[in-house]
Amino acid sequence: MKPNTTRRCNQLRGVKLLSALCSIAALVAACTSIPEVQTYTLGTGSPPQASRENASVDENAHPAFLIDVAPVVVPAQVARRQLVLQKDPVHVQVMEQERWSTAPADEIRQSLSASLSAVLGTFEVASVPFPADQPVYRVSVVVQRFESWYASHALLDAVWTVSPRTGATMLTCHSINSVPVGSGFDELVKGHQLAVSQLSNEIAAAILAEQQESPAPSKCVRGGMRTAATGIQAK
């Protein structure tokens, strides 16, 4: 074989080897790359324009009362950063790459606090001092179901209470909010946002009913406070 021919053959083999190595490197990179994590939030809880227009208080006026939103309780199976899809009544799927920005309990509480503050024209004092003579309504929420049905609906089922810091009576209420959603995780999260907003509107109506001494909403019962664990009535 002539020298020039040998040189060309070696060059060709080198090109083929380099191409093969590049292909292998690309394949390894593709196999080892970590999919991007998508992060979602229920938002700050700003209510829809319609809710703001229907608010019965002046947002610029001195608040007639304050609110205290207690930490929200959610079912253990969804108390994680990953979104949990409900496949059927007995199967769920944990989505490792689709996550909440904070734990769902914190997301719900933050959204409720901001929504209630905006709709009622007041603010929350859960972690700050406040005047002793200022009326304060405490809101407690226990979520019984927080279900994500992909391309179907978002479901929020909660038992909640509204009670004045001074006094022994409270409203105990039950809400089930189901919002139809389209395909995509963005649509699913928007469904949860609307469900929490609907819950916020119901809580706001209950607080106004208590503040105005109106009849309890249809989903609520009014009575003396009693601890569930001991059955001891508050005095």
Q: How many residues does the chain have?
A: 235
89 plus 26 within the same structural domain = no
Q: How many domains does the chain have?
A: 2
User: Do 234 and 226 contact (CB within 8 A), yes or no?
Assistant: yes
Inform me whether the pLDDT recorded for 155 exceeds 90. Answer: yes
Q: Identify whether residues 53 and 159 lie together within a single domain.
A: yes
Kindly state whether residues 27 and 53 are assigned to the same domain: no
pLDDT at 23: 65
Residue 194 falls inside a structural domain: yes
Task: Tell me the two tokens of residue 78.
Answer: 């969804």
Same domain (yes/no): 16, 48: no
The model's pLDDT over 82-107, given as tens digits with 9 standing for 90+, comes to: 999 999 999 999 999 999 999 999 99
Q: Please report, for the domain that includes residue 186, its CATH number.
A: 3.40.50.10610
One domain, residues 99 and 148: yes
Give the sign of the dihedral formed by CA 201, CA 205, CA 211, CA 212. Answer: positive
Q: Are residues 111 and 15 in the same domain?
A: no
Instruction: Judge whether 83 lies within some domain.
Output: yes
Domain that holds residue 21: 1-33
pLDDT tier at 233 (50, 70, 90 boundaries)?
Answer: very low
In this structure, the answer to whether residues 12 and 104 fall within a common structural domain is no
pLDDT of residue 71: 97
Q: Would you say residue 198 has pLDDT above 90?
A: yes
Helix (H, G, I), strand (E, B) or coil at 67: strand
Q: Please report, to the nearest 10 degrees, the dihedral formed by the alpha carbons of residues 163, 108, 63, 210 taken in order.
A: -30
Same domain, yes or no: 128 and 24: no
The string of pLDDT tens digits covering residues 158-182 is 999 999 987 777 899 999 999 999 9
Exposed/middle/buried for 114, CB within 10 Å: 0-12, 13-18, 19+? buried
Query: Would residue 112 count as lying in a domain?
Result: yes
Domain co-membership, 9 together with 105: no
